[in-house]
Structure 1
Amino acid sequence: MSRRITVVTAIHAPSAPYLQDAYASLRQQELPAGWDWRWLVQEDGWTDDVRPHVPADPRVVFRQGRPGGPGVARTIALAHAEGEYVKILDADDQLPAGALARDLAALEADPTIGWTTSRVLDLLPDGSTAGFPGDPANGPIERGVVLDFWKANGFRAPVHPATLCVRRDLLLALGGWMALPASEDTGLLLALNTVARGWFSEQVGLLYRKWEGQATGQAAHVDPAERDARMLVVEARARALAGLEWRYPLG
């Protein structure tokens, strides 16, 4: 029997036209012998706009549910996740060749590593890409490092939460993504870093699409009052976990 990595994607109608590009990037992934992938595509809502863009592939499972934001969609999708690892892939993003294999290599090599991230390039509307300086060194990320950096640098994390690959039992133990209108993935990243060592790959692991309809580009995303509240609860959760002194793996 093959071992499985589950890829989880939250989607809403505006991003549906990009789903085929995400699928093409997933289909090109070459996994180690004995591994396969399954893709859970969870619509944040009930519309007729997403299903026509879902690939006809037995490895792809599409479901819908009442709207609650991407964090809720991803978390409800976990009910159907199989295998040891869960990989995040936003509907409008793409995985470069080798991304999944590098995630698996890092997690399989060291049981104290609970999660992985990687370098990101912005995918611009004209098809070009843009990178940014300041990535951490290739290798392990110790507990607390991401939270400390985030707090000292204007709530900007040193690694990108959209690149996460996580041990499924750890993800479930933390309750999945935070129930926030935005920054739910940052909240998960900080919680993961509080309780478990991570890994950063200096090789590009995600093409992050920039387009005018993306949720992070909307005015509501930077509303000061909401943003302050999100940052407060994201930090409070991480600090509470640190105070409980829970560590992964146990023992």
Structure 2
Amino acid sequence: MRRRIIIVTAVHAPSAPFLPDAYASLRRQELPEGWEWQWVIQEDGKSDQVAPYVPDDARVTFRQGRPGGPGVARTLALSQAAGEYVKVLDADDQLAPGALARDLAALEGDRGIGWATSRALDLLPDGSTVGFEGDPEPGPIEHGAVLDFWAAHDFRAQVHPATLCVRRDLLLALGGWMALPASEDTGLLLALNATSRGWFTPEVGLLYRKWPGQATGQPSHTETAERAARMAVVEARARHLAAFRWRHPADG
């Protein structure tokens, strides 16, 4: 029986036209012998504007649900995620060649690693890409390292949560993504870092699209009071998880 990595994508109507590009990036992935991918696309809401962009492929599952934001959509998608690992791919982003194979190599190579991340590049509207300084050293990321960096750098993590690949059992144990209107993926990243060691791959794993309709580009995303509230609960969750000393794997 083939082993499976699940790709989870939250989508709403404005981002649906980017799904074919995300699909093309998935089709370019080369997995190790004995592995396959399944793509679970979960619409955040119920419309007739997303389905036309969903590929006709037996490896693709499409579901709809009540609107609640991308974190809710991704968490609902976990009900369809029958595989050992869950990889995030936002509807408007693209995987770089080799991304899945590198994630699997990290997670399969060390049972003590709970999650993997990689370098990300911004994909600009003209097709050019922009990188960032400050990536961590390649290899393991120890407990608390992401939280410490994030707290010291105005709530910016040194690894991108949109590049996460996670052990499914660990993701479910943490309850999926946080119930926040934004920063739900950062909340998950910090909770993962509080409970398990991670991994950073220096090769580019994701092209993170910048476009006018992007949720993180809207004024509401940086509104002072709400941002402060989000950051406070994200940090508190991570610090309490660390204080409880719950660890993955349980015998680690």
Tell me the TM-score range normalised by the shorter chain.
over 0.9
Deviations 1:109-155 (A, max 9, x none): 00000000000010000001010111001100000000000001100
Aligned 1:37-186 pairs, distance under 5 A:
37-186=37-186
Distance 1:204 1:97 in 2: 8
Distance 1:201 1:98 in 2: 11
**1:226 alignment partner, SS class:** helix
Distance 1:83 1:62 in 2: 16
**2:191 alignment partner, SS class:** helix
Gaps of 5+ in 2: none
Gaps of 5+ in 1: none
How far the C-alpha of 1:80 sits from its partner, in A, is 1.1
Deviations 1:56-113 (A, max 9, x none): 0000000000000000000011011011100000000000110000000000000000
The answer for the alignment partner of 1:228 in structure 2 is 228
Identity, % of aligned positions: 75
Distance 2:79 2:148 in 1: 32
Distance 2:83 2:217 in 1: 34
Q: Number of residue pairs matched?
A: 251
**1:230 alignment partner, SS class:** helix
The answer for the alignment partner of 1:26 in structure 2 is 26
**1:233 alignment partner, SS class:** helix
How far the C-alpha of 1:199 sits from its partner, in A, is 0.2
1:117 maps to amino acid = T
Distance 2:189 2:23 in 1: 24
TM-score of the two chains, using structure 2 as the length reference: 0.99
Distance 1:141 1:24 in 2: 30
Distance 2:157 2:8 in 1: 22
Distance 2:190 2:62 in 1: 29
The answer for the alignment partner of 1:11 in structure 2 is 11
Deviations 1:42-69 (A, max 9, x none): 0000011000000000000000000000
Distance 2:97 2:216 in 1: 26
**1:5 alignment partner, SS class:** strand
The answer for the alignment partner of 1:212 in structure 2 is 212
Distance 1:151 1:208 in 2: 23
**2:95 alignment partner, SS class:** coil
Distance 2:213 2:245 in 1: 41
How far the C-alpha of 1:4 sits from its partner, in A, is 0.2
**1:229 alignment partner, SS class:** helix
**1:240 alignment partner, SS class:** helix
**1:126 alignment partner, SS class:** coil
**2:94 alignment partner, SS class:** coil
**1:211 alignment partner, SS class:** coil
How far the C-alpha of 1:240 sits from its partner, in A, is 1.0
1:121 maps to amino acid = L
Distance 1:35 1:143 in 2: 29
RMSD: 0.4
Distance 1:149 1:129 in 2: 25
